[in-house]
Amino acid sequence: MLNKTKLLVLVTLFLTLAVINYAGDIKGKVEAKGVKNNANAVVYIEDIPGIKFNPSKENAKMDQKNLTFIPHVLPIVVGTTVEYINSDDVLHNVFSPDKCAEKFNLGTWAKGKSRSYTFNEAKCYSVMLCNVHPEMEAFIVVLKNPYFALTDKKGNYLIKDVPEGKYKLKVWHEKLKEKSLEITVSKDSSITHDFEIKK
Ligand SMILES: [Cu+2]
């Protein structure tokens, strides 16, 4: 017997599948010329029209350990809150000079504690700096949807379960020029796109 609850579950499942039509994976390699390795490039789909993407419910985390921001590059969906943890005995003072991050300045806080900032502007490539240690630097890359990937040292990236459609696939790197490519993702397939980026 199909009771009301079961019916509701089935209808919801059907609607979910109908709205988000999961399709293919995008993978490839980014060759970053003139920098020490191919890591920390962000490959992302610029826009997926018609779908509203929520920020991640869990806060993204950036640690400060041994006078270094970890990770060095953190891509997030717009609206996500980033928690800045201090794991050092010394005080840090995280701030961003970027307008799209409202030039925030979080002040200083003790070891084991954290403070946070919510990034509400998409297409914001915001640098994180520390008032106390000029050598500290990191980047928050604020994107419109969760279809992004960070390259490893070899330059490999993988973006999974992208809905089918035509998009702009882009690469961001802190030191190198942005690259953009028109791509088509179709159902149940995997496509490969390699990039070479330089100054
Ligand atoms: Cu510091």
Per-residue pLDDT tens digits for 117-135: 999 999 999 999 999 999 9
* Cα 156 to middle of ligand 1, angstroms: 31
* Cα 153 to middle of ligand 1, angstroms: 25
pLDDT at 16: 52
Structure tokens belonging to residue 88:
């050092």
Report the distance separating Cα 78 and Cα 8, nearest Å. 31
* Cα 64 to middle of ligand 1, angstroms: 7
pLDDT at 154: 98
* Cα 146 to middle of ligand 1, angstroms: 30
Report the distance separating Cα 23 and Cα 26, nearest Å. 10
pLDDT at 11: 62
Domains and CATH numbers, the chain: 24-197 (2.60.40.420)
Q: How many CB atoms lie within 10 A of CB 10?
A: 11
SS3 19: helix
pLDDT in tens, the chain (199 residues): 557 777 676 666 555 555 555 689 999 999 999 999 999 999 999 999 988 899 989 999 999 999 999 999 999 999 999 999 999 999 999 999 999 999 999 999 999 999 999 999 999 999 999 999 999 999 999 999 999 999 999 999 999 999 999 999 999 999 999 999 999 999 888 999 999 999 9
pLDDT at 22: 64
* Cα 68 to middle of ligand 1, angstroms: 8
Structure tokens belonging to residue 48:
């997926």
pLDDT at 82: 98
Residue 141's nearest CA partner among 46, 28, 66 is 46
